[in-house]
Chains A and B, each alone.
Chain A
Amino acid sequence: GENVEQHPSTLSVQEGDSAVIKCTYSDSASNYFPWYKQELGKRPQLIIDIRSNVGEKKDQRIAVTLNKTAKHFSLHITETQPEDSAVYFCAATAGGRGSTLGRLYFGRGTQLTVWP
């Protein structure tokens, strides 16, 4: 099955700096890559996603890049703020094969801390 690796596991930045989180995946058939933000004790929230027919997507201070050849994708947060502090998870689909369509494989998460 799909294997998603996420790095780093913890990341500390100063307010205003940029943060980058990287993920790799193993299944070349994967075609959808969402990012979730989870604050302590709360639900994972979809913050941005990218599909395999696109190389980059941006939404205000958040951007995601995808390199299908290398099978890796990254989350970029610019001008970080203390409220960006949370655990961020990357995920990938198993690809459009039969009953596995729809299931997501998650990375282990990155604890981002933004210091004021």
Chain B
Amino acid sequence: NAGVMQNPRHLVRRRGQEARLRCSPMKGHSHVYWYRQLPEEGLKFMVYLQKENIIDESGMPKERFSAEFPKEGPSILRIQQVVRGDSAAYFCASSLEPGPALYEQYFGPGTRLTVT
């Protein structure tokens, strides 16, 4: 049973470029969460999605950041016009359907974004 997959693992972008981060949840999981981790800090919630729906995007900056989880294919976190402060590790997690199992989130390996 494959775990949560993320790609690319490392991404380098110049200031002003766009970054697209992809996440494929665990098989059978329909809930996806994106978190950002700055060096030597904890994970900060960004956005929670189900297939074709954004459930909670209150942790995501309103400008330049967007996320989607289409009916087919991976979830995508998109950062437009990147700035140096966007450099961080971006982790995706997934969980099962609603119920007690909803809370158990399993993380992908992360994408380390470096903005030069």
Contacts and interface: CB of A to CB of B under 8 A. Distances in A.
Interface in A58-116: 89, 91, 93, 99-109
Given A49-B104, A51-B100, A102-B33, A43 B45 contact: no
Contacts of A106: 35, 42-44
B101 to A, nearest CB: 11
A107 B33 contact: no
B59 interface: yes
Given A46-B107, A100-B56, 5 more contacts: A43-B91, A43-B110, A102-B31, A104-B103, A109-B42
Interface residues of B, number: 28
A99 B31 CA distance: 13
21 contacts: A34-B104, A43-B4, A43-B108, A44-B43, A46-B104, A46-B105, A46-B107, A89-B42, A89-B43, A99-B56, A100-B58, A101-B98, A101-B102, A102-B95, A102-B102, A103-B48, A103-B56, A104-B45, A106-B35, A106-B44, A108-B41
Interface in B75-116: 91, 95, 98, 100, 102-110
Interface of A: 6, 32, 34, 36, 42-46, 49, 51, 89, 91, 93, 99-109
A112 B4 CA distance: 26
Interface of B: 4, 31, 33, 35, 40-45, 48, 55-56, 58-59, 91, 95, 98, 100, 102-110
